[in-house]
């Protein structure tokens, strides 16, 4: 197999696996069978495409082969048990599709939204809900999800196994819940969508900073959620937040593929149409006077978006918004961001002291952005030796190649 073909297959998996597995779960009613069928289909692609070449529609080819695998599994199960297939964990789904052609459209428009609500059922704990959706919908690997949660891989693997078993044992339906059950599920759904976006916005590992297919998918799902429940201000705030962040994508790496920090970005490259939409959505959400965490984060992003230059950024207002956000959602990461805002908008020493107080608990020892933020402030204070050590610690904790090159450049600059 050529290297180009292998990269193509890997790209198809990254971009299409979430869509494919969502449709396969709808058909089979089983997470494990859907994932097994998809993995088998990709294994077939590795063999067949090497001999026959790349098909016109690679995702369609994978989808059709995976469906045939499901039918084969069902036939074997019927033979073994001498009865109708027992694949579903809910009331019977539609009969097996008869048309298995590559050109058949297997996916209904809201398969992935159904999948999110299934994964976010209250029978599962929140961590399992998010991890399972990232695994099935986003196609993230277990190591990637483990890094996102600051967990060990064995712990995350066990969590995924238990979550899928719980769904089957509890016969959780694969559906968007009714109006009565919907509010209880929305918080986890929003968190899941935002974590998918974040993995696309700044990939935890790999050669690229951005996994555009994930951030685009998260925005699409947020739009669907907003359309489904338009009067929920947090749904609107989430969509606004992601649009405002995503508007900066083109400016976040330069022509050589190197990371460019927010402070140094060419703001003419920011997508003004997305910023305008994000600001409008934020205004609509805040007008309902039920400010929540996503609206506050969107308000922070809006202050960056409105600043014509870095010096125009209202860091004091950002610090105040982080204070409000911490009251609603106390966490070490939010406290860290508040400390950075103090450093940038009030006083570097005050911000550094705030950040180091957060670090004393040890909760952020494995969070590379804590060490990178501390290093940046130490660099600005001309405390080069301490900055060097902090940058080295940050470098040891990130697996993203673009971020690693950025940190190495910062380390090298301290010697000049």
User: For every residue of 79-128, which 3-state class applies, written as one string?
Assistant: HHHCCCCCCCCCCCCCCCCCCCCCCCCCCCCCHHHHHHHHHCCCCCCHHH
At residue 101, the pLDDT reads 37
User: What are the residue boundaries of the structural domains of the chain, listed by start?
Assistant: 3-81
At residue 94, the pLDDT reads 33
Q: Which residues pair with 399 in a beta bridge?
A: 205
Residue 210, token pair as written in the block: 């951005």
Radius of gyration of the chain (CA): 23
pLDDT digits (tens, 9 = 90+) for 230-245: 889 999 999 999 999 9
Claim: this prediction has a pTM higher than 0.85: no
345-350 long-range Cβ contacts below 8 angstroms, 24+ apart: 345/313, 345/314, 345/315, 345/316, 345/318, 345/319, 346/315, 346/316, 346/319, 348/377, 348/380, 348/381, 349/381
pLDDT digits (tens, 9 = 90+) for 309-323: 999 999 999 999 999
For residue 164, the tally of other CB atoms under 10 A from its CB is 20
Residues 6 or more apart in contact with residue 55 via CB below 8 angstroms: 49, 61, 102
Query: Which segments in the chain show pLDDT lower than 50?
Result: 82-109
H/E stretch holding 205 reads: strand 205-206
Q: Could you give the CA distance from residue 12 to residue 30 in angstroms, rounded to a whole number?
A: 22
Q: Could you give the CA distance from residue 206 to residue 53 in angstroms, rounded to a whole number?
A: 27
Would you give the DSSP letter of residue 364? T
């Amino acid at each position: 197999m050529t290297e180009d073909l292998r990269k193509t297959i890997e790209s198809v998996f990254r971009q299409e696996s979430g869509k494919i597995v969502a449709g396969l779960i709808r058909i089979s009613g089983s997470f494990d069978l859907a994932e097994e069928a998809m993995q088998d289909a990709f294994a077939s692609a590795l063999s067949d495409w090497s001999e026959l070449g790349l098909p016109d529609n690679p995702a369609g080819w994978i989808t059709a082969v995976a469906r045939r695998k499901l039918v084969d599994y069902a036939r074997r199960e019927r033979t073994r048990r001498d009865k109708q297939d027992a694949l579903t964990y809910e009331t019977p789904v539609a009969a097996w599709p008869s048309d298995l052609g590559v050109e058949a459209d297997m996916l209904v428009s809201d398969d992935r939204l159904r999948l999110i609500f299934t994964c976010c059922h209250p029978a599962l704990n929140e961590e399992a809900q998010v991890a399972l959706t990232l695994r099935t919908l986003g196609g993230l690997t277990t190591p990637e999800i483990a890094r996102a949660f600051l967990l060990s891989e064995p712990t995350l693997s066990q969590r995924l196994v238990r979550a899928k078993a719980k769904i089957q044992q509890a016969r959780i339906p694969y559906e968007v819940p009714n109006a009565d059950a919907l509010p209880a599920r929305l918080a986890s759904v929003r968190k899941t969508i935002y974590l998918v976006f974040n993995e696309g916005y700044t990939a935890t590992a790999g050669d690229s900073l951005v996994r555009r297919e994930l951030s685009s998918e998260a925005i699409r799902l947020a739009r669907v959620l907003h359309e489904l429940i338009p009067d929920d201000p947090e749904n609107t705030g989430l969509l606004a937040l992601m649009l405002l962040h995503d508007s900066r994508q083109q400016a976040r790496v330069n022509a050589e593929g190197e990371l460019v920090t927010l402070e140094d970005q060419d703001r003419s490259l920011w997508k003004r149409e997305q910023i305008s939409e994000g600001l409008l959505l934020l205004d609509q959400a805040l007008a309902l006077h039920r400010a929540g965490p996503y609206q506050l984060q969107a308000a922070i992003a809006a202050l960056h978006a409105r600043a014509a230059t870095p010096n125009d950024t209202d860091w004091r207002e950002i610090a105040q918004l982080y204070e409000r956000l911490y009251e609603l959602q106390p966490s070490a990461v939010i406290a860290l961001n508040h400390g950075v805002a103090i450093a940038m908008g009030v006083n570097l020493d005050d911000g550094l002291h705030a950040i180091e107080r957060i670090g004393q608990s040890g909760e952020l020892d494995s969070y590379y952005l804590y060490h990178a933020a501390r290093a940046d402030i130490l660099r600005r204070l001309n405390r080069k030796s301490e900055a060097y050590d902090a940058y080295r610690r940050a470098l040891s904790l990130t697996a993203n190649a673009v971020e690693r090159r950025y940190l190495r450049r910062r380390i090298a600059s301290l010697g000049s």
